Amino acid sequence: MNWLAQINAIGLFQNVYIIAGRGGAKTTSILAERLQEMVYDMPGAPVALVADTYTNLQKNVLPTLQEGLRLLSWEEDVHYRIEKPPYDHWEPSTNIISSYKHTIIFFNGFNLTLISLDRPSAAAGRSYVAIIGDEVKFFREDKIAKLTKSVRGYQVKYGESPFYRSQTFTTDMPNPNLIGEYDWILKHKKRINTKEIIRVLQTGFVLNEIRVEYVHAKDSGDKNRILNVKRKMERWEERWRKVRRKSVFFWIASSFINADILGVDFFSEEFETALEDVNQAILSLKPSLTAGNRFYSKLQEKHFFLDGSDSFWSENFGIRDDEDCRILAKLDRTKAIDAGMDFGNMLSMLIAQDGRKREYNVLKELYTLPPNSIRELADLFLDYFAPHEHKILNLYYDRAGNNYRKTGQDLASQIKKAIEKDSSGKRTGWKVILKSIGQGNIHSNTEYNFMIALLSEINPKLPKVRIDQFNCRNLKSSLELAPTKIANRNHRKLVVKDKRSEGLPIHKLPSQSTNFSDAFKYLMCRAKWLQSAKATQRPHIGSLTTSG
């Protein structure tokens, strides 16, 4: 454990709010330790484990939490079971569990309900005695406030526990300049009482020393000594439990709290390759980037929607299931779909479809990183959209994807073939229509002016773009973080998109590079919409003339 995790283990405060840098072991050390103590302290109790998306819960939060429990010697199917009923010899739960879907059950009946903000139906009508949330910078304040109201009930049985009605929220530093990041956790700083925290820690340290003394007493075999130390330990445990009630611990820490484990190379790479987010993600400093620095300056909260998950399929897809397109509430599976694609070191694909009242919904993002390539991306598409009934895909892409088309070696033809035929050469039923054949370069000035017109939503001939905030998380980040720079073109100083982020290490490309923003460009900058925008707009100061 790093020192911050040790403080939390000694204190086990009722309410904990921690902002810590990337790699700070928030989940493996702090959340896992608190969860294990909750299990022991409140047998049979129902607790909520919350994340922003179910995908994040599946791929990040739960595996990391399990790693932390493993470090504490707890194993799946021994100490807890995921979406499975308990063993017959385990203790029963206090609450009635009608289905173990989205549930983790522990050996003493303690149970976690897995909740994500993109699937709020999982929490409907339930009561909990505590709430745990990870990456809470993605939690809208009104949504988490509504969820915390369900932390109630079972007061008679658990009211004496210091964990009763507790909140445990962790995250890295939020950036309120970005759409979909919220800094409400900072409000809890004013709740901390320093004297109270010191009292909890002093009591905890004394108790810890007595516990060590008790171990030595048991080793000695002296029954009188064991009894005396045990009585002293019980008195101090009661004092410790008493001072912890209503305690609030708030802390901001950099990634350096975990430097001994992360090692020098981690920090060297982060500082050498990170662009604008290193102060925020590593040092936990408040961000300073403003909308004026963004290439997509007209992007607003209204361009994203939060209700993209179908409630029926939200209940049916569990934590160990692979989701497919049936989860997309705004997808019409009886109609063709569009895709925008960017070819490069990272292959990026965005799936979209016309919606209601001029809305154009960007529904899903897919990508592959080296060494995976076109075949793997096609397989991701085929698996996810297998239930789609009208198997027509209109593909918009970079003109470079047409290179070597005469020999059939162009990237556009390769992705078309890979979708229309699986790895064994069998036809899939899909027909891919290449929409960018013969298309010229989409210059940066064209994209810049078009995006202003598109996102401003003034032109009635242009669609209203709506992006699934949860299923297109990397696209959202790419659009928000795409910065500008000044370039000299024909003796003019022009604003251009700064694409240095595309040279980041491979694992950082999805969320921190401009790749997905380029896939969005190819999806939206189609001939009819470009023409509609050009007919009504005036050139903007700083229009771009470089190829994008």
CATH architecture observed for domain 3-190+247-259: 3-Layer(aba) Sandwich (3.40)
8-state DSSP, 392: E
Cα(258)–Cα(274) distance, integer angstroms:
19
DSSP 407-456: GT-SHHHHHHHHHHB-TTS-B-S-EEEE--TT----BHHHHHHHHHHHHH
- DSSP, residue by residue, 118-138: TBGGGGTT--BSEEEEESGGG
**Which amino acid, one-letter code, is at 161?**
S
CB proximity list for 353: less than 8 A, separation 6 or greater: 330, 331, 332, 335, 336, 337, 338, 360, 361, 363
**Alpha carbon 457 to chain centroid, angstroms:** 29
Amino acid symbol at 540 = H
Q: 50: which strand partners?
A: 115, 133
Distance of alpha carbon 203 from alpha carbon 16, whole angstroms: 18
Cis upstream peptide for 86 (omega within 30°): no
State residue 543's pLDDT score. Answer: 43
Contact 359, 417 (CB under 8 A): no
Question: With contact defined as beta carbons under 8 Å apart, do 35 and 65 qualify?
Answer: yes
Strand, coil or helix: what is 502?
helix
Rounded CA separation 124/342 (Å): 40
**539 CB contacts (<8 Å, ≥6 apart)?**
449
Q: State how far the Cα of 331 lies from the Cα of 339, in Å rounded to an integer.
A: 13
| Distance in angstroms (rounded) separating the CA atoms of residues 150 and 136 | 17
Q: Are 126 and 113 in contact (CB under 8 A)?
A: yes
CATH of 295-536, one of 3.30.310, 3.30.420, 1.10.600, 3.40.50: 3.30.420
**Per-residue H/E/C for 241-276:** HHHHCCCEEEEEECHHHHHHHHCHHHHHHHHHHCCC
Nearest partner of 270 among 18, 499, 505, 502, judged by Cα? 505
Please say whether the beta carbons of 494 and 321 come within 8 A: no
CA angle 58, 60, 65 (to 5 degrees): 95
Report the greatest alpha carbon distance in the chain: 94
Q: List the one residue out of 502, 511, 507 whose CA is nearest residue 548.
A: 502
Gyration radius (Cα) of the chain, Å: 27
**Peptide bond preceding 43 in cis form (omega within 30 of 0):** no
Q: Residues for the chain: how many in total? A: 548
In this prediction, residue 396 carries a pLDDT of 96
289 contacts 101 by C-beta, under 8 angstroms: no
Q: Which helix (H) or strand (E) holds 341?
A: strand 337-342
| Rounded-to-integer distance, Cα 112 and Cα 252, Å | 27
Q: What angle do CA 455, 458, 462 make, to 5 degrees?
A: 70
Q: How would you write the pLDDT of the chain (548 residues) with one tens digit per residue?
A: 899 999 999 999 999 999 999 888 999 999 999 999 999 999 999 999 999 889 889 989 999 999 999 999 999 999 999 999 999 999 999 999 988 999 999 999 999 999 998 886 666 668 999 999 999 999 999 888 888 888 988 999 999 999 999 999 999 999 887 788 899 999 999 999 999 999 999 999 999 999 999 999 999 999 999 999 999 999 999 999 999 999 999 999 999 998 888 888 888 877 776 555 677 788 888 776 555 578 898 999 999 998 899 988 988 898 889 999 999 999 999 999 999 999 988 999 999 999 998 999 999 999 999 999 999 999 999 999 999 999 999 999 987 655 544 444 589 999 999 999 999 999 999 999 999 887 778 877 788 889 999 999 999 999 999 999 999 999 999 998 888 877 777 777 777 788 888 888 898 899 889 999 999 999 999 989 998 888 665 555 444 433 33
What pLDDT score was predicted for residue 548?
A: 37
Helices 444-456 and 515-524: crossing angle in degrees, nearest 10, is: 70
As to burial, measured by CB atoms within 10 angstroms (0-12 exposed, 13-18 middle, 19+ buried), residue 535 is exposed
Q: Name the amino acid, one letter, at 263.
A: G
Tokens describing residue 302: 């209204």
Residue 407 confidence (pLDDT)? 42
One-letter amino acid identity for 86? P
Closest residue by Cα to residue 80 from 110, 117, 58, 59: 110
- Residue 47's H or E segment, with its range, is strand 46-51
